[in-house]
């Protein structure tokens, strides 16, 4: 099987909603890294010109190639990434090899494809 790593950087208050959307789209699990920090095109400034940085979560999904795009699109739709600037970003990367995913492969084999 071929896998993709889907990475989503999101506002932490949207994490649970996005995790559920990914699961509904076929994700079999995820890793959440809390308190990531990011910047957009311009730094956000608050009172007295101090920099404001909202805490974000990094969501990692190892997904089988044939369902990865479906998961990515679900994240974009539910997260409103293209509609609302600053809400988050998601992308996928090729995974050359993976171990420790035997249970995931068994689950995917018994699940119909989402083509």
Question: Does residue 115 fall inside a structural domain?
Answer: no
Question: Does residue 93 fall inside a structural domain?
Answer: yes
Query: 82: which 2 tokens?
Result: 């293209």
What distance lies between CA 1 and its chain's CA centroid? 21
**Percent of the chain residues topping a pLDDT of 70:** 75
Query: 16: which 2 tokens?
Result: 């649970």
Question: Does residue 46 fall inside a structural domain?
Answer: yes
Q: Are 90 and 76 in contact (CB under 8 A)?
A: yes
How much is the mean pLDDT over the chain?
A: 83
Q: What pLDDT sits at residue 108?
A: 60
Rounded to 10 degrees, the C-alpha dihedral 18/24/25/31 comes to 50
Question: Does residue 96 fall inside a structural domain?
Answer: yes
- Read off the DSSP letter of residue 100: S
Q: Per-residue confidence at 1, pLDDT binned at 50, 70, 90?
A: confident
Task: Provide the residue range defining the domain that includes 85.
Answer: 3-110
Total domains in the chain come to 1
Q: Is the pLDDT of residue 112 over 80?
A: no
- The pTM is what? 0.78
Question: Does residue 15 fall inside a structural domain?
Answer: yes
CATH number at residue 60: 3.30.70.120
Query: Which regions of 2-87 does DSSP assign to beta strands (E)?
Result: 3-11, 31-36, 44-45, 51-52, 56-64
Rounded to 10 degrees, the C-alpha dihedral 2/5/78/19 comes to 100
Convert the pLDDT of each residue in 40-76 to its tens digit: 666 665 565 555 566 789 999 999 999 999 999 999 9
What distance lies between CA 15 and its chain's CA centroid? 9
Question: Does residue 72 fall inside a structural domain?
Answer: yes
């Amino acid at each position: 099987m071929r896998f993709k790593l889907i990475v989503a950087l999101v506002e932490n208050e949207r994490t649970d909603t996005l995790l559920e959307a990914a699961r509904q789209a076929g994700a079999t699990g995820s890793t959440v890294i809390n308190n990531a920090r990011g910047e957009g095109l311009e730094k956000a400034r608050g009172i007295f010109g101090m920099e404001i940085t909202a805490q974000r979560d990094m969501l990692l999904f190892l997904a089988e190639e044939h369902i990865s795009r479906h998961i990515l699109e679900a994240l974009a739709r539910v997260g409103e990434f293209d509609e609302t600037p600053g809400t988050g970003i998601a992308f996928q990367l090729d995974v050359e090899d993976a171990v420790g995913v035997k249970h995931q492969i068994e689950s995917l084999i018994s699940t119909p494809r989402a083509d």
